[in-house]
Structure 1
Amino acid sequence: MEIRRATSVSELTAAQHLYDGPARAEWAARFLAAPGHLMLIAYVDGASVGMVSGIEMLHPDKGAEMCLYELSVAEEHRRRGIGRALTEALARVARERGCYDMWVGVDTDNAPAHATYRAAGAAPEGEFSMLTWDFTGGS
């Protein structure tokens, strides 16, 4: 397995089978151009089998922190340490950038995600509640 940072729209769109929906080239270009946004892709035999995206965020009184935005491993490659390796790789990038921490929001009933993140060194900080504003016209 090899993990590389995506640097082109074609890399991001080629990995769309790992996303929740199809990639759009214009969104991929905006993602790459946005400061602090990054995606690491895991490859096995030249095929993309996993990805993790992160967003570095800054605040005037806290400095920089990394948000692990999304992690995905192709079903046929799960339970082989790829998710943990991607998470650890993102944590290395966060440290290199001087982030004071890295965090992720996880549904409380998502046991595989909890196991992956704990295996990569994360520790729970208690219950998490997420509130959302939907600007798409949905519910």
Structure 2
Amino acid sequence: MRIRPATSTAELLAAAHLYDTSPRPEWAARFLAADGHLMLIAHSGDTPVGFVSGIEMLHPDKGTEMCLYELSVDERYRRRGVGRALTEALAAEARERGCYGLWVGTERDNEAALATYRSAGAADDGVFAMLAWDLGSGS
């Protein structure tokens, strides 16, 4: 398995089976063009088997931190260390970019995600509430 940053829309679209819904080429292009957006894709041979996406978040009094936005591993490759390797690769990339921290939010009952993140060195930072606004289709 090798992990590398996606650098083309074609790479993002080739990983479509790993996303929640079908990717749109124009959104994939915008993602790659946006400063601070990163997607690392794990490959077995030429087949994408997992990805992790991260977004740098900059604040005037805190500096830059990385948000682990989404992690996905093909069901056939789960429980083989792919998620951990992707998470560790994102943490390494965040360090290289000068981020002071890396964070992720997940449901408390998502045992697989919690185990993956903890195995990659994350510690529980306590309970928080996540609130969301539905702003429409996002197009």
Gaps (5+ residues) in structure 1? none
User: So what's the TM-score if we normalise by structure 1?
Assistant: 0.97
Structure 2 residue aligned with 1:22: 22
Structure 1 residue aligned with 2:10: 10
The CA deviation string for residues 66-115 of structure 1, in whole angstroms up to 9 with x for no partner, is 00000000000000000000000000000000000000000111000000
Structure 1 residue aligned with 2:65: 65
Structure 2 residue aligned with 1:51: 51
Q: Structure 1 CA distance, aligned partners of 2:116 and 2:128?
A: 18
Structure 1 residue aligned with 2:96: 96
The CA deviation string for residues 38-80 of structure 1, in whole angstroms up to 9 with x for no partner, is 1000000210000000000100000000000000000000000
TM-aligned CA deviation for residue 128 of structure 1: 2.2
- Output the amino acid matched with 1:56: E
User: So what's the TM-score if we normalise by structure 2?
Assistant: 0.97
State the Cα RMSD in Å: 0.7
TM-aligned CA deviation for residue 16 of structure 1: 1.0
- Output the amino acid matched with 1:29: A
Gaps (5+ residues) in structure 2? none
Where do 4+ consecutive residues of structure 1 move more than 6 Å?
none
Structure 1 residue aligned with 2:82: 82
- Give the number of aligned pairs: 137
